[in-house]
Amino acid sequence: MGFIDEIRSRTHRTDRTDAGIVTLREALGEAVRALGIGAKLLEQRALMLLPELIDELAGVPDTMARPAEIRRGELVIRIRHDAVRHRLSIERHRIQARLNEALGREVVTSIRFGK
């Protein structure tokens, strides 16, 4: 099972036949919408998914590259070694595309590598 398929299987929603039943997932979704924190939650999810994704795409373990933050759509990844920075810079667009695909919308608009 690929990375995207695994994420989709974790978020699969089943339809309820009883209209009066509200699942915890639905209640939390409504709370997130009401509080206006959906974008920040997606950013945090991107940061959580990134280590597994860069390991899959570039063979880089999480000890060599760590997500730092997302600010205004720019994902900052801290990298220890120049060789790893070069490898990830080659995969930059694929990493961005796969993250956004897993999240279901464009959350990451650019990627910057820092030390």
Q: Is the pLDDT of residue 20 over 80?
A: no
Mean pLDDT of 73-102: 94
pLDDT in tens, 99-113: 999 999 999 999 999
Distance CA 51, CA 66 (A): 7
Distance CA 53, CA 7 (A): 11
Q: What is the pLDDT of residue 36?
A: 85
Q: Is the pTM of this model over 0.75?
A: no
Q: Is the CATH number of domain 3-12+38-114 3.30.300.180? A: yes
For 92, how many CA atoms within 13 A lie in the half-sphere containing its CB? 13
Q: Is the pLDDT of residue 14 over 70?
A: no
User: Domain segments of the chain: what residues?
Assistant: 3-12+38-114
CB 70 within 8 A of CB 61: no
Q: What is the pLDDT of residue 35?
A: 86
Rounded to 10 degrees, the C-alpha dihedral 96/98/102/106 comes to: 40
**Structure-model confidence comparison of residues 32 and 15, the more confident one:** 32
pLDDT in tens, 36-80: 889 999 999 999 999 999 999 988 988 899 999 999 999 999 998
**Structure-model confidence comparison of residues 55 and 3, the more confident one:** 55
